[in-house]
């Protein structure tokens, strides 16, 4: 079952306090609820925990530096401040709260917070005298008035040996506050249901069959489960979906216009006839080659087996992603790989000119015909940088819903940028 934070993107800013180690537990709790967590560790935070421990849990690089020399676009303060649904600052030190209140931007954390237009939740942690100081009180009042959410602090023994108010609340309590935030968010923001209404989507699914004669073909084991689930998930978000499907045993998804084809060339033609769309998802396992000749009548057994000459099929994803006229605003492909999954998928993304790739390892346990998928989600960023995000093992249905949510968030951002 999905957690209550499924697909939510949370940036966790960890500043310098003894409670920083508890933030590692918070990462796990958020992930267990389905959130996608990215970490940012301040210089102070690094005195208590290492970037490595955070990245090992989040499965993504950890932002640490405002002027990073590794020039990773994903970790720039602008990207970090925009690509999340919520920023959680835990622990939030008196120093960082003061910077937030006064609009300072002298390190990565404060710069991200100043450049951000997404909601912020702080979990203060400090000595009780610092907490009670009129300066901190004034800063907190300023932040509250600005809509910053707050959880804690709690009373108890503090790291300095004193007792009083200033302890960071427990990770479970922060998790509850995060849950509460998303529950109280506007309905469209909370579920994104209907978030794709007014948009057109095109999905390819299933295998293609390339005939040798009227009864024999070259094909593959694709079941179409993933592509069909994606078409249904996009339709559930309100998109007007056309599904172009090769031969499968599946029923046509509800509320989706399904076109049935056999060969790669028919699939391409059907896609092109679908006209202009906003998003394309190519999930079909298109046969890379077809027989040069296909007999009109059944080939009879002779003394020798026939030799089959093959020719290359059109690449549907590449054709749609690189077309000059009416290219969809978002083109998504899959990469089925048995080995070197990320490297091959990155190369595929660049070669085929698409925006996102869902790479999956195919082989014995996962892939064709199976119900689960283990996806590595690749996103093309500026300057052909590629963000790599491993997803947990999910059912194909859940992969479809997660992708639909990503698509919804993408178009919501496009709308915000245009406003």
Find the binder of ligand CTP among 333, 376, 379, 396 (CB under 6 A).
333
Find the binder of ligand CTP among 274, 317, 378, 407 (CB under 6 A).
317
**Whole-number CA gyration radius for the chain:** 25
Residue 256 or 335 having the CB closest to ligand CTP = 335
Find the binder of ligand CTP among 98, 126, 259, 335 (CB under 6 A).
335
Find the binder of ligand CTP among 192, 336, 403, 407 (CB under 6 A).
336
CA angle 112, 113, 118 (to 5 degrees): 105
Element (H, E) at 116: none
Q: Smallest distance from the beta carbon of 359 to ligand CTP, in angstroms?
A: 8
Q: Is 298 helix (H, G, I), strand (E, B) or coil?
A: coil
| 319 neighbors 331 (Cβ within 8 angstroms) | no
Q: Scan residues 280-309 and list those touching ligand CTP (CB under 6 A).
A: 282-286, 288
* Residue 334 lies near ligand CTP (rule: CB under 6 A): yes
Q: Name the nearest CA neighbour of 98 among 86, 87, 113.
A: 113
Q: Is 265 helix (H, G, I), strand (E, B) or coil?
A: helix
Q: Residue 63 and residue 71: Cα distance in Å, rounded?
A: 11
Residue 252 or 289 having the CB closest to ligand CTP = 289
Residue 239 or 332 having the CB closest to ligand CTP = 332
- Provide the mask over 338-367, with x wherever binding to ligand CTP is found by CB under 6 A and - wherever it is not: ----------x-------------------
Pairing of strands 149-150, 200-205: unpaired
Q: Is 251 helix (H, G, I), strand (E, B) or coil?
A: coil
| 45 neighbors 14 (Cβ within 8 angstroms) | yes
Residue 283 or 378 having the CB closest to ligand CTP = 283
Q: Is 249 considered catalytic here?
A: no
Residues pairing with 242 in the sheet? 202, 257
| 97 neighbors 136 (Cβ within 8 angstroms) | yes
Looking at 25-33, 84-92, 150-158, 279-287, which segment touches ligand CTP (CB under 6 A)?
279-287
* Residue 315 lies near ligand CTP (rule: CB under 6 A): yes
Q: Smallest distance from the beta carbon of 208 to ligand CTP, in angstroms?
A: 8
Residues annotated catalytic, as ranges: 160
Question: Which spans of this chain sit near ligand CTP (rule: CB under 6 A)?
Answer: 204, 264, 282-286, 288, 313, 315-317, 333-336, 348
């Amino acid at each position: 079952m999905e957690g209550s934070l499924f697909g939510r993107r949370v940036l966790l800013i960890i500043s310098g306090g003894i409670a920083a180690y508890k933030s590692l537990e918070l990462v796990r709790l958020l992930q267990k609820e389905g959130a996608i967590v990215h970490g940012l560790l301040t210089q102070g935070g690094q005195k208590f925990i290492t970037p490595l421990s955070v990245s090992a849990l989040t499965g993504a690089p950890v932002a640490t530096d405002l002027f990073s020399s590794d020039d990773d676009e994903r970790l720039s303060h602008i990207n970090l401040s925009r690509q999340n649904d919520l920023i959680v600052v835990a622990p939030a030190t008196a120093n960082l709260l003061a910077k937030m209140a006064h609009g300072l931007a002298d390190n990565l954390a404060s710069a991200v917070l100043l450049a951000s237009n997404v909601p912020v939740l702080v979990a203060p942690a400090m000595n009780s005298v610092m907490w009670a100081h009129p300066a901190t009180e004034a800063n907190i009042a300023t932040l509250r008035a600005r809509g910053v959410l707050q959880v804690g602090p709690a009373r108890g023994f503090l790291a300095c040996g004193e007792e009083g108010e200033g302890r960071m609340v427990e990770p479970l309590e922060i998790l509850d506050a995060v849950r509460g935030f998303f529950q109280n968010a506007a309905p469209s923001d909370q579920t994104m249901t209907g978030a794709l209404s007014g948009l057109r989507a095109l999905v390819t699914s299933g295998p293609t069959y390339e005939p040798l004669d009227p009864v024999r073909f070259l094909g593959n084991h694709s079941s179409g489960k993933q592509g069909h689930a994606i078409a249904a998930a996009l339709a559930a978000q309100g998109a007007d979906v056309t599904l172009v499907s090769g031969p499968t045993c599946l029923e046509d998804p509800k509320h989706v216009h399904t076109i049935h084809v056999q060969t790669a060339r028919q699939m391409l033609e059907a896609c092109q006839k679908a006209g202009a769309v906003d998003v394309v998802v190519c999930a079909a396992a298109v046969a890379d080659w077809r027989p040069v000749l296909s007999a009109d009548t059944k080939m009879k057994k002779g003394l020798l087996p026939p030799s089959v000459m093959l020719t290359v099929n059109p690449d549907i994803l590449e054709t749609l992603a690189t077309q000059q006229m009416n290219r969809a605003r978002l083109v998504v492909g899959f990469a089925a790989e048995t080995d070197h999954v990320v490297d091959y998928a990155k190369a595929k993304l660049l070669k085929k000119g698409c925006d996102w790739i869902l790479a999956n390892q195919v082989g014995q346990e996962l892939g064709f015909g199976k119900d689960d998928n283990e996806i590595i989600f690749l996103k093309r960023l500026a300057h052909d940088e590629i963000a790599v995000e491993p997803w947990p093992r999910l059912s194909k249905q859940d992969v479809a819903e997660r992708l639909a949510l990503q698509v919804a968030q993408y178009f919501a951002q496009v709308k915000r940028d245009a406003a």
